[in-house]
Structure 1
C-alpha cells in the first residue's frame, strides 16, 4: 500500500528573505467558510464571539488575532481561521471546511506595502488600509485575500493550486523593491 505524506502548499520553498522583508508560509489551522442563514446574522455573531472570541467581521474587515480570526470573505461570508468551529455554529450558518484549499503566507518588513503595491489594485496607504482591514482582490492574475495584520505585515491567501505562482510573483516584486534601495 502506498504511504501518503502531507505537504504544505509551498513545502519548504519559504521563508524567503529579501531586502529586509520576509515572506513566510503560515499554518492558520482550520479554515472554515461561514455563511449565515437568512435572518441569523446577529445570532451568528454572538455565537462566534462566545465560542471563539471573534465577532462577525464587517465588510473589508477582519476580527480576532493569530490563532482565531474571522476574515471577511465576500458578501455575507467570512473565513474562520484557526479553531475547529464550535458545534453550535451550525444552527446559524452553513460551514464548509476550506483547510486544504488555500495557501497562506505573511509578508513582513518595512517595504511590504511597496511590494504589494506592485501586485494588487488596492490603496495600501496606512490611513486607508490599516491593521484589521482586508480585501478580496486580484494579486497579479490570481484571486486573493489580503489582510493587514500589523503596521508592516500582511496575511495573503490564494488558492493552493497557485502557491508556486504566488511565491514567484512575490519574489520578483520583493527583488524590485529591494533594488530601489527601499527598506
Structure 2
C-alpha cells in the first residue's frame, strides 16, 4: 500500500520575494461556505454574531479578523475562514466544508496594488479598496477572491487546482513591476 503524504496547494512553489514584495502561502485553517436559507439572513447574522463574534458580511466586505474571518463570497454566499462553524448556523444556512478546495496566498509589499493592477480588472488602490474590503473577480484568466487584509497586504484565493498558475502569474507580475523600478 502506498503512503499518502498531505501537501498544501502551493507546496514547493512559495515563498517568493521580488523587489521588496513577498508572496507567501497561508494556511487559514478550516474554510466553510455558508449559504443562507431564504428569509434567514437576519437570523443567520445573529447566530454568527453569537457563535463567532462577527456579523454576516455585506457585499464586498469582510468581518472578523485573521483566524476568525467571514468573507462576502458572492450573492447569498459567505466563506467562514478559521473556525469550524457552530452547529446552530445550520438552522439558518447550508454549510459546506471547503477546507481542501482553495489555495490561499498573501501578497505583501508597497507595490502590491501595481502587481494586481496587471492581473485584475478592478481598482485596488487603498483609497478605493480599503482594509476589510473583499471581492470576487477575474485574476488574469481564473476566478479569485481578493481581500485587503492590511495597508500593504492582500489575501488571494483561487481553486486549489489553479495554485501553480496563480503563483506563476503573480510572480511574473511582481518581476515586471520590480523591473520598472
Common fold by TM > 0.5 = yes
Q: CA separation in 2, counterparts of 1:13 and 1:162?
A: 12
SS at match of 2:47: helix
**Cα deviation digits, residues 49-73 of structure 1 (max 9, x gap):** 1111121000011111100000000
TM-score by length of 1: 0.97
**Cα deviation digits, residues 29-57 of structure 1 (max 9, x gap):** 10100001111101111111111112100
Structure 1, gaps ≥5 residues long = none
User: What corresponds to 1:40 in structure 2?
Assistant: 40
CA shift at 1:14, angstroms? 0.6
Question: What does residue range 59-70 of structure 1 map to in structure 2 within 5 Å?
Answer: 59-70=59-70
Query: Which shifted more, 46-55 or 154-163?
Result: 46-55
CA shift at 1:3, angstroms? 1.5
Structure 2, gaps ≥5 residues long = none
Query: Which shifted more, 11-20 or 160-169?
Result: 11-20
User: What corresponds to 1:155 in structure 2?
Assistant: 155
Runs of 4+ in 1 over 2 A off after TM superposition: none
Question: What does residue range 60-99 of structure 1 map to in structure 2 within 5 Å?
Answer: 60-99=60-99
User: What corresponds to 1:56 in structure 2?
Assistant: 56
User: What corresponds to 1:100 in structure 2?
Assistant: 100
User: What corresponds to 2:136 in structure 1?
Assistant: 136
SS at match of 2:73: strand
SS at match of 2:71: strand
Q: CA separation in 2, counterparts of 1:18 and 1:48?
A: 39
Query: Which shifted more, 45-54 or 70-79?
Result: 45-54
Q: How many residue pairs get matched?
A: 181
User: What corresponds to 1:12 in structure 2?
Assistant: 12
SS at match of 2:135: strand
